[in-house]
Amino acid sequence: MQTITTKKALDEFVSNCKSENKTIGFVPTMGALHNGHLTLVRRAVAENDICIVSVFVNPTQFNDKNDLANYPRTLEADAALLTEAGCACVFAPTPDEMYNADEMTNRFEFDFGGLDQVMEGKFRPGHFNGVVQVVSKLFRLVRPDRAYFGEKDFQQLAIIRRMTKLMNFPIEIVGCPIVREESGLALSSRNALLTPEQRQTAVHISAVLQESTQFALETSVGELHDAVVAAINAKEGLETEYFDIVDGDTLQSIERWDDAEYVVGCVTVYCGKIRLIDNIRYK
């Protein structure tokens, strides 16, 4: 596996692949890889001639400087995992390689069609501007045939699909199911920041979501919302930031189950100071 750190070297690698008519599968990550990422990588390896993975902690999508500073960075371990998974190339640039000074200081503007006004976008202003900024840059550099994203970041996936369409990228966006630990906890790079006790506590989030599916359609949307929030917050060490029950296509909150054919519950919970997200499909 090649490790590339400059845009010029990446362009040469991609151009060689294209000259040989090889298909490229791409998995953008911020590193600290876990089995959820590796599931995406293995699928990209299986479905394409070449798999490229980016490892880049993108500063423009963090609205909390402490969160950026504390985000785990484990490139050497990541590279070993990627080699084992069959990845052909890892692109690991520095912020200075990816951005000029203006891009770092000026907000990237994009027509989100309202997708950024709810859930993560509401609580992390500017976050998705940074996501679209970096992913659009990476798409232009990697020029993939397919790009793979996990459904755990449900809102991000919807926004990437919109970006791909509006920017006319000839790329197939492949959404992949959430990967969970045996306990049910959704895999996340942030899990590495949890203490062993917090990890046990965090399992309660997925347990509550799963239990809620058993009675969801038999109660009102509002009652289900309140029951889930109360059940999560009842666990010492957990505090719900938001729980939204939304149309899975528009991400807009619903009031009745028949408001949408595709309904997803999306939650963000603080476990101590660690911010965890999860979601579950109701309909």
- Residues recognised as catalytic: 37
List, as own/partner pairs, every contact residues 245-250 make where C-beta atoms lie below 8 angstroms and the sequence separation is at least 24, other chains included.
245/221, 245/282, 246/118, 246/119, 248/154, 248/281, 249/158, 250/114, 250/115
Structure-token pair, residue 215: 């009675």
Measured between alpha carbons, how far is 194 from 146 in angstroms, rounded to an integer? 33
- 3-class SS of residue 30: coil
Other beta carbons within 10 angstroms of residue 15's beta carbon come to: 11
Instruction: Give, to the nearest 10 degrees, the angle between helix 7-19 and helix 127-142.
Output: 50
Residue type, 8: K
Task: Write down the residue that tokens 């929030």 correspond to.
Answer: 229
